[in-house]
Amino acid sequence: MDVYKKRVELSLEEYVEGVRSNNRAVLARAITLVESNAARHFSMAQDVLTSVIPQTGNSIRIGITGVPGAGKSTFIEAFGLKLAEQGHRVAVLAVDPSSSLSQGSILGDKTRMDQLSRHPNAFVRPSPAGGNLGGVARKTRETLLLCEAAGYDIIMVETVGVGQSEVTVRSMVDCFIVLMLTGAGDELQGMKKGIMEMVDIMLINKADGTNRQAAEQAKVEFKRMFHMLPSVTEGWETEIDTVSALTGRGISECWETIERFHQHMKNTQQFELRRKEQATNWFHSLLEEQILKRFYDYPFIKSQLPDVKKDVLLGKSSATRAVSLLLQEYEQKIYNN
Amino acid sequence: MDVYKKRVELSLEEYVEGVRSNNRAVLARAITLVESNAARHFSMAQDVLTSVIPQTGNSIRIGITGVPGAGKSTFIEAFGLKLAEQGHRVAVLAVDPSSSLSQGSILGDKTRMDQLSRHPNAFVRPSPAGGNLGGVARKTRETLLLCEAAGYDIIMVETVGVGQSEVTVRSMVDCFIVLMLTGAGDELQGMKKGIMEMVDIMLINKADGTNRQAAEQAKVEFKRMFHMLPSVTEGWETEIDTVSALTGRGISECWETIERFHQHMKNTQQFELRRKEQATNWFHSLLEEQILKRFYDYPFIKSQLPDVKKDVLLGKSSATRAVSLLLQEYEQKIYNN
């Protein structure tokens, strides 16, 4: 088995068999392949993915967001350990497009989730390094599929609660959880607008010691708020619970809530629907992202766009005319290439 | 002046002078030009727009949304009349991408806003007929500019509260208002998720007679909700007021709130910033929409895409590989055209 740790290239069969039998070293290498930006890895990565597709789809996909300081890592570690000890197989991934730039980004610090990482039933993978949201999202989605093929039945995707990445993560999971702090209200101002209306479950974390009472009060206030907001999942009013990742209080109940949510999704046929939407959404976002990238990367566009945009912002041209002229010149270029 | 009503073609100067001097017949014809899908109108429409750009930007742009039945038209008529009588010049536009399909769409019924339409200080224009959201949005934005050039200082853009069009309207206005009914909570379920987090002012309409008390109660509840949601405009907590378009109660106060909001935006430099965002946003959405449209309209893509997508949804291919192959074939086609 040690052969897989060496630097020899694996064959397609070795990758596929290794992933299917949850050989962790092979799984890690397959993910590295998927994350690689090298052209020579692309074809093999897609061969592996296509081969394992029949084994995918059998996990509960959970998105977890929250402002920095809400205790996401601590919660995920405590929650993941509890599930792993119950016999679940738990994978933890992250979407953090800025991780190449910012220090201390989510899951970037190897010492975090230390206990969970070492549990035989768990697999923790940091956010793919660098790149824009689109690239990171593709890599995370494909990693999610590889983990499913390796038999992980619970996949958590972590994201920071401050950017466009929440919409992306929401679009790849079945259940979306936001982690809050006890002091309700103010910290929400730091969150991206619109997140509250994508949430299936809210967990008020750090509900321990002297914080306990404030957390219960916040729960009542958030309950009122969600009662007035439209639900993202039909027939499911956002559930709010208080937890303490520190003492473990409420952690088991989280899983019960997720299971109840999952059952509701299944019973109302929303599960199948959301999975279909996930797939369609993925396909179109991949496609459109590539089309736009190719356009913006085209040398003529790269050189012309800043001036064209400036003219529009200065009121020298209507936006419609500027766009129309730019595209006309662009098409002449590519057709006469 | 009657010459403008005849079917003779106007010159660029006639259009520009007519719009600038608020000749309503010329303004209406310029809008028709902008709304035209005929290629021969395109160039003239953009010439007119480019010429009047220096006269644009001097209105307060207000977006108004709300579920069907919230009384948007009645409110806009009462509110618009009040402003017009005070000497303001008020234009009312609409964004309704489905208006070609659905009967009784917003502003589609010529008999609606009858009084306001006839007021010399007001100009009411229904949603451009047909087309997708992108097309309708472009036409509405350009109509907004023409109205500004014609000296309208308050422009209201109406939209139905159930679709993607709210995000579009939010991106073209300074102040975004949602109209609610007195019975709080339930009717929100019919609204598109995320709208509540884009709102600067909420008006609880039909707060008259026996509804009055329920409306005041709803106001208290919504106030609590907004206190917990992040603000879309920094330093401005969504203002909630009860109004009655029927009795006129609260209508004058609406304008005071908008003026206060406007002042806050100016004081905090958010006004300039939002206007700049509006322009940048417009440019990029126009550009990307055209690029994607050209791609999806390309005959090879039109014929291949359904099968490629089907393969992905059936798990026969990874999405990434399918997209990559499709784009490779597409580029070979266009470069060897």
| Termini Cα distance of chain B | 52
Instruction: Decide if A264 contacts A201 (C-beta within 8 A).
Output: no
Query: pLDDT value at position A221?
Result: 85
Nearest-by-Cβ selection for B280 from A194, A313, A318: A313
Give contacts of B230 with chain A, Cβ < 8 Å: 188-193, 196
Q: Are residues B171 and B26 in the same domain?
A: no
Angstrom distance (rounded) from CA B70 to CA B290: 35
Instruction: Decide if B279 contacts A312 (C-beta within 8 A).
Output: yes
Quick check: B318 contacting A, CB < 8 Å? yes
Domain boundary pick from A16, A34, A55: A55
Q: Are residues A11 and A62 in the same domain?
A: no
Residue bearing the bigger pLDDT, A102 or B130: B130
Q: Are residues A45 and A65 in the same domain?
A: no
Residue bearing the bigger pLDDT, A223 or B190: A223
Quick check: A167 contacting B, CB < 8 Å? no
Which range has the worst mean pLDDT, B4-13, B184-193, B288-297? Answer: B184-193
Asked if the Cβ–Cβ distance from A286 to B188 is below 8 Å, we say: no
CA distance A198 to chain B (A): 8
Nearest-by-Cβ selection for A224 from B50, B224, B294: B224
Angstrom distance (rounded) from CA B109 to CA B257: 30
Asked if the structure places residue B191 within a domain, the reply is: yes
Angstrom distance (rounded) from CA A325 to CA A310: 14
CA distance B85 to chain A (A): 32
CATH number, domain containing residue B80: 3.40.50.300
Q: Are residues A22 and A127 in the same domain?
A: no
Q: Are residues A29 and A160 in the same domain?
A: no
Which range has the worst mean pLDDT, A20-34, B191-205, B208-222, B286-300? Answer: B191-205
Q: Are residues B200 and B243 in the same domain?
A: yes
Our count of domains for chain B comes to 3
Q: Residue range A251-259: average pLDDT?
A: 96
H helix or E strand, kind and range, residue A6: none
User: What are the b/e assignments for A220-241, b being 16+ CB within 10 Å?
Assistant: ebbeebbbbbbbbbeebebbbb
Domain boundary pick from A19, A37, A55: A55
Query: pLDDT value at position B155?
Result: 98
CA B285, B290, B296, B297 torsion: positive or negative? positive
Give contacts of A222 with chain B, Cβ < 8 Å: 228
Q: Are residues B81 and B210 in the same domain?
A: yes
**Confidence tier at B4 by pLDDT (50, 70, 90):** low
In the predicted model, is pLDDT for residue A121 greater than 80?
A: yes
Q: Are residues B195 and B322 in the same domain?
A: no
In the predicted model, is pLDDT for residue A104 greater than 50?
A: no
Q: Residue range A231-245: average pLDDT?
A: 91
Domain containing A12: what range? 1-55
Nearest residue in chain A measured CA to CA from B230:
A189
Asked if the structure places residue B23 within a domain, the reply is: yes
Domain boundary pick from B54, B70, B98: B54
Asked if the Cβ–Cβ distance from B198 to A196 is below 8 Å, we say: no
Nearest-by-Cβ selection for B185 from A190, A228, A313: A228
Instruction: Decide if A113 contacts A77 (C-beta within 8 A).
Output: yes
Asked if the structure places residue A293 within a domain, the reply is: no
Query: pLDDT value at position A99?
Result: 47
User: What are the b/e assignments for A44-80, b being 16+ CB within 10 Å?
Assistant: bbbbbbbbbbebbeebbbbbbbbbeebbbbbbbbbbb
Q: Are residues A39 and A144 in the same domain?
A: no
In the predicted model, is pLDDT for residue B13 greater than 50?
A: yes
Angstrom distance (rounded) from CA A93 to CA A128: 9
Asked if the structure places residue A83 within a domain, the reply is: yes
Provide the 8-state DSSP code for A58. -
The residue among A12, A140, A287 with the most chain B CBs within 10 A of its CB, best to mutate, is A287
Nearest-by-Cβ selection for A320 from B142, B326, B334: B142
Q: Residue range A156-171: average pLDDT?
A: 81
Nearest to A193 by CA among B62, B29, B167: B167
Query: pLDDT value at position B113?
Result: 86
Q: Residue range B253-276: average pLDDT?
A: 95
Asked if the structure places residue A170 within a domain, the reply is: yes
Q: Residue range A106-111: average pLDDT?
A: 48
Give contacts of A295 with chain B, Cβ < 8 Å: 291
CATH number, domain containing residue A3: 1.20.5.170
CA distance B154 to chain A (A): 21
Give contacts of A282 with chain B, Cβ < 8 Å: 319
Asked if the structure places residue A318 within a domain, the reply is: yes
Q: Are residues B15 and B93 in the same domain?
A: no
Asked if the structure places residue B289 within a domain, the reply is: no
Nearest-by-Cβ selection for A196 from B56, B229, B321: B229
Contacts of B172 (CB under 8 A, 6+ apart): B61, B63, B137, B140, B141, B144, B157, B278, B282
Nearest-by-Cβ selection for B318 from A53, A196, A323: A53
Which range has the worst mean pLDDT, A215-224, A254-263, B79-88, B261-270? Answer: A215-224
ipTM of the complex: 0.80
Angstrom distance (rounded) from CA B5 to CA A157: 62
Give percent above pLDDT 70 in chain B: 88
CA B148, B152, B154, B159: dihedral to nearest 10 degrees?
-70
CATH number, domain containing residue B37: 1.20.5
Asked if the structure places residue B293 within a domain, the reply is: no
Quick check: B12 contacting A, CB < 8 Å? no
Q: Are residues B270 and B310 in the same domain?
A: no
Number of residues that this document lists for chain B: 337
Structure confidence by residue, pLDDT tens digits, A2-14? 555 556 789 999 9
The winner for highest mean pLDDT among A94-103, A317-326, B140-149 is: B140-149
Asked if the Cβ–Cβ distance from A197 to B193 is below 8 Å, we say: yes
Q: Are residues A320 and A176 in the same domain?
A: no
Burial of B124 (0-12, 13-18, 19+ CB in 10 A): buried
Quick check: A111 contacting B, CB < 8 Å? no
